[in-house]
Structure 1
Amino acid sequence: MKQNIINQIYWGPGYQDGYHFGSRIKIRKNGHVSFDNKLMASGKIIMSWQSKLNYQFSKMVPQLPVLAVGRRYRLYLKGQEKPAGTMITRLIFRNIQGDEIKQLNLEGHDNEFVFPEGTVDYELQLINAGCTHLEFDRIEICTADLPKDVHDDLWLQDPITDYPDKPVHLLVMSAGKRAKRDFPWLKRLAGDLAVQIMLVSWQHRDDVGQDITDLLKENRAYNTHIISCEPRFDRAVIDACNSFPAFQGLVTNRAYLADRPQNIYRYVWRPNVHQLKEAVSEPDWVSLFSVIHAIWGGDQG
Structure 2
Amino acid sequence: MKNVINQVYWDRMSETYLYGTAFKKNAKNEVTFKNKLMPSGKTLISWSSIANYQVAKEVPSLPLLLNGQEYLLKISAKIKPENSAIFGIHFFDIQGNEIDKVIFTDLEQKFKYPPRAVKYTIEIISGGVEEINFKKIQISPLDLEEEVFNDFYPHPIYLNKNSQKEGLILLDDSKRARIIAPFKIKSYVGANLTIGYLSWQNKQHGLELLKDYINEHKDKELVIFSSSADIDESLANSNTLNCTVVYSKAFVDEGYHNLQETYLSKNYREPDQVRMVKEAINYFKE
Give the TM bin, normalised by the shorter chain: 0.7 to 0.9
Match of 1:164 in 2: 161
Residue in 1 that maps onto 2:245: 249
What is the alpha-carbon distance in structure 2 between the residues aligned to residue 15 and residue 84 of structure 1?
24
Q: Which residue number in structure 1 is paired with residue 280 of structure 2?
A: 292
Correspondence list, 1:81-160, <5 A: 81-157=79-155, 159-160=156-157
Q: Which amino acid aligns with 1:163?
A: N
Q: Does the 8 A contact of 1:51 with 1:62 survive in 2?
A: yes
Tell me the distance in 2 between the aligned counterparts of 1:281 and 1:72: 25
- Picking from 5, 30, 33, the partner of 1:32 is 30
Distance 1:195 1:123 in 2: 40
Structure 1 residue 152, shift from structure 2 partner? 1.3
CA 1:221–1:20 in 2, change beyond 3 Å: closer, same or farther? farther
Displacement of 1:234: 2.1
State the shift of 1:141 in Å: 0.4
Number of residue equivalences: 281
Deviations 1:142-170 (A, max 9, x none): 0111112222111222x112223322210
Return the offset for 1:104: 1.0
The TM-score normalised by the length of structure 2 is 0.87
Letter of the 1:228 counterpart: S
% identical equivalent positions: 28
> Does 2:18 correspond to 1:5?
no
Q: TM-score, normalised by structure 1?
A: 0.83
User: Contact 1:3 / 1:184 at 8 angstroms: preserved in 2?
Assistant: yes
Q: Residues of 2 paired with 1:189 and 1:138: CA distance?
A: 39
User: How far apart, CA to CA, are the structure 2 residues paired with 1:205 and 1:135?
Assistant: 19
Higher relative contact order (CA 8 A, sep 6+): 2
3-state SS, counterpart of residue 196 of structure 2: strand
Q: Select the residue among 218, 227, 230 that pairs with 1:229.
A: 227
8 Å contact from structure 1 (residues 271, 282) kept in 2: no
2:237 paired residue number = 239
- Kindly provide the amino acid, as one letter, of the partner of residue 249 in structure 1: V
SS at match of 1:160: strand
Give the 3 Å change call, closer, same or farther, for CA 289–189 of structure 1 in structure 2: farther
Structure 1, unaligned stretches of length 5 or more? Answer: 254-265
Q: Structure 2 CA distance, aligned partners of 1:6 and 1:134?
A: 23
Letter in 1 for 2:161: P
What SS does the corresponding residue of 2:237 show, helix, strand or coil?
Answer: helix
- Cα gap change, 1:277/1:110 in structure 2, threshold over 3 Å: closer, same or farther? closer
Partner amino acid, structure 2, of 1:181: I
* Distance change >3 Å, CA 220–CA 144, structure 1 → 2: farther
Q: Would the aligned equivalents of 2:160 and 2:192 in 1 still touch at CA under 8 Å?
A: yes
Give yes or no for the alignment of 1:270 onto 2:254: yes
Question: How far is the alpha carbon of 1:237 from its aligned partner?
Answer: 3.8
Structure 1 runs, 4 residues or longer, greater than 3 Å off: 185-193, 218-223, 235-238, 266-269, 274-278, 280-295
Match of 2:65 in 1: 67
Distance 2:177 2:5 in 1: 5
Name the CA distance, whole Å, in 2 between partners of 1:185 and 1:64.
28
1:76–1:111 contact (8 Å) kept in structure 2: yes
Separation in 2 of the partners of 1:233 and 1:88? Answer: 36
Distance 2:195 2:277 in 1: 13
How far apart are the structure 2 equivalents of 1:238 and 1:31?
Answer: 24
